[in-house]
Amino acid sequence: MLRWWMAGAGAEELRLGRPKRCTIHLGILPLIVFALVFFGYGFGSHRSQELGDSEAVTRMVYAQPKVLTPSRKDVLVLTPWLAPIIWEGTFNIDILNEQFRLQNTTVGLTVFAIKKYVVFLKLFLETAEQQFMVGHKVIYYVFTDCPADVPQVPLGAGRKLVVLTVRNYTRWQDVSMHRMEMISRFSEQRFLHEVDYLVCADVDMKFSDHVGVEILSALFGTLHPGFYSSSREAFTYERRPESQAYIPWDEGDFYYMGAFFGGSVVEVYHLTKACHQAIVQDMANGIEAVWHDESHLNKYLLHHKPTKVLSPEYMWDQQLLGWPSIMKKLRYVAVPKNHQAIRN
């Protein structure tokens, strides 16, 4: 306040080196002092009420963490840029639930149910109600071209469903790529004002175990179940330099799945907007990345390191990959496809 007053009231005199002139009549000085004290006290009191003391985590009883005992010895739990990799056994969900409860967190879950893929929506929502962010406020954002076909699924307290009508496209590749455009647009127009975090998921999946606030961070990606143990040379990055998704053979940290990513609304907005712009530029140059929006997602996360990385527990296909012993939980899994049912 003092620096602002000096800059505003006497900036010209200070710049020119002239002393400031005092034009205040001595008779009204006591009134000014009284006003400053009165309003200053009121302002200070209001600020102290606004700031207050932050709430502390309530008393909890749990096993003490041991500095010399790693939580998991069989997997990497920390990236070279110090982002945690989330596996079962690396976190205490009770502590995390309490922390996010104190923040009064609301989580948005976006899902695209376009054309015949709306048949997967009922199972997706039903299992989300059982396993996704249980005990926290959730808004399901369903993007669909068939709003009348969105099923009525009973929702718990503090949870609601919002249907966002969008157009469809002939090719599934175009549906997938335009997802980035839609999420970025609605993040700016709506999500920023309604939720704290966004989780972006594919609809032909189901939640088969707990998926909670342990995944929340400024920006997270999920390890692809087919490449989590592979060298970077085996990753199916876009390798053509003409594409905006191009990643050279000697670069790359992990291969991330396009079916499950998220973060704060602001960070998801930046990610999806950048991917959409890259896709548009590729289209103008007559090229389409090998794995479409997933290729652009991997390019973005290479240069904008995620602050959390989810293990393949959060993206798995048991029908194709079985259940290896390294996977203590299978949390978000592919639904076996009944293509005849989809066609019907």
CATH of the domain at 331: 3.90.550.10
User: How far, in whole angstroms, is CA 65 from its chain's centroid?
Assistant: 28
Q: Are residues 318 and 181 in the same domain?
A: yes
41: tokens are 């006290």
**Would you say 120 and 203 are in contact if contact means Cβ atoms under 8 Å apart?**
yes
CA dihedral 179, 180, 186, 189 (to 10 degrees): -160
At residue 224, the 3 state secondary structure works out as coil
Q: Are residues 35 and 156 in the same domain?
A: no
Q: Are residues 113 and 39 in the same domain?
A: no
Q: Are residues 13 and 128 in the same domain?
A: no
Tell me if 75 is assigned to some domain: no
Tell me if 26 is assigned to some domain: yes
Give the number of other CB atoms < 10 A from CB of residue 193. 8
Q: Are residues 134 and 38 in the same domain?
A: no
Give the pLDDT score at 126.
98
Q: Are residues 45 and 137 in the same domain?
A: no
Give the pLDDT score at 153.
97
Which positions are catalytic?
Answer: 294
State what percent of residues in the chain have pLDDT above 70. Answer: 80
Tell me if 77 is assigned to some domain: no
Q: Are residues 191 and 258 in the same domain?
A: yes
Of 45 and 140, more confident: 140
Write down the pTM of the prediction: 0.83
Q: Are residues 17 and 134 in the same domain?
A: no
pLDDT at 206 over 90: yes
58: tokens are 């309530």
Tell me if 80 is assigned to some domain: no
Q: Are residues 150 and 46 in the same domain?
A: no
pLDDT at 34 over 90: no
> The tokens 């962010």 sit on which residue?
133
Give the orientation angle of helix 172-186 with respect to helix 265-284, to 10 degrees.
Answer: 140
Q: Are residues 104 and 45 in the same domain?
A: no
Tell me if 208 is assigned to some domain: yes
Please state, in angstroms and rounded to a whole number, the distance separating the CA atoms of residues 147 and 174.
20
Q: Are residues 99 and 185 in the same domain?
A: yes
Tell me if 279 is assigned to some domain: yes
Residues in contact with 107: Cβ distance below 8 Å, sequence separation at least 6, in sequence order: 133, 136, 137, 138, 139, 195, 196, 197, 198, 199, 213, 216
Residues in contact with 310: Cβ distance below 8 Å, sequence separation at least 6, in sequence order: 85, 86, 215, 220, 221, 222, 223, 260
Q: Are residues 113 and 174 in the same domain?
A: yes
DSSP state of 299: H
Range of weakest confidence among 19-23, 28-32, 103-107, 238-242? 19-23
**Residue 119 sits in which domain range?**
85-343
Please state, in angstroms and rounded to a whole number, the distance separating the CA atoms of residues 112 and 145.
9
Domain count of the fold of the chain = 2
244: tokens are 């905006």
Give the pLDDT score at 58.
79
Give the pLDDT score at 332.
97
pLDDT band at 150 (very low <50, low <70, confident <90, very high): very high
Tell me if 170 is assigned to some domain: yes
Tell me if 161 is assigned to some domain: yes
